[in-house]
């Protein structure tokens, strides 16, 4: 396969012989994969911390001196409440 080499003014200077790789069929799926790989490599990550977005907002206040319904330890349940600002 031959290709023309053009000058800056747009005039054909010479013809060169292209390698055999240019005789293959065009694979549009491969081109799409390459473009997506380049674009996704430039995408900014969502957080600086690897655990960003996975932290729990519930607060544990462990107390032994409360009566049984308000106690959070020795009750056979998880100590950490499921929602913030809820005691029971």
Identify which has the larger pLDDT, 44 or 36: 36
d(Cα 56, Cα 59) in Å, to the nearest integer?
A: 8
> Which pLDDT tens digit goes with each residue over 51-84?
766 666 666 666 666 666 666 666 666 666 566 5
pLDDT of residue 86 exceeding 60, the answer is: no
- pTM tops 0.85, yes or no: no
C-alpha dihedral, 76 to 79 to 85 to 88, nearest 10°: 10
């Amino acid at each position: 396969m031959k290709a023309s080499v053009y000058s800056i003014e747009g005039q054909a200077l010479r013809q060169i012989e292209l390698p055999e790789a240019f005789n293959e069929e065009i694979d549009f799926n491969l081109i799409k994969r390459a473009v997506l790989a380049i674009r996704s490599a430039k995408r900014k990550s969502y957080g600086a911390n690897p655990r960003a977005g996975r932290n729990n907002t519930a607060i544990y206040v462990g107390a032994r001196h409360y009566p049984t319904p308000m106690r959070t330890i020795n009750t056979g349940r998880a100590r950490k409440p499921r929602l913030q600002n809820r005691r029971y």
